[in-house]
């Protein structure tokens, strides 16, 4: 499972566990976040959902992507 910190439009935060193998949109809708319109079908093309990644997760890991 993947743990997500979700902040809704009212600014309320909730930590949830999402199943693997799903898009973020599918996981959030399955977890009851019905305010996600998903007009694009979950391919991150319509901007009805937004993802912010903590910068600490963006640090390069040892050797990945390096030549």
pLDDT single digits (tens) 14-53: 999 988 888 888 888 888 888 877 788 777 777 776 777 7
pTM score: 0.61
Q: Which long-range contacts (CB under 8 A, 24 or more apart) does 45-53 make?
A: 49/24, 49/25, 51/24
CA separation for the pair 24, 13 (Å, rounded): 16
pLDDT band at 65 (very low <50, low <70, confident <90, very high): low
């Amino acid at each position: 499972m993947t743990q997500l910190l979700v902040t809704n439009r009212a600014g309320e935060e909730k930590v949830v566990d999402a199943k693997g193998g799903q898009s973020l949109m599918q996981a959030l809708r399955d977890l009851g976040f019905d305010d996600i319109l998903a007009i694009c079908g979950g391919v991150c093309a319509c901007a009805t959902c937004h993802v912010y990644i903590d910068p600490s997760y963006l640090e390069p890991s040892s050797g990945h992507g390096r030549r």
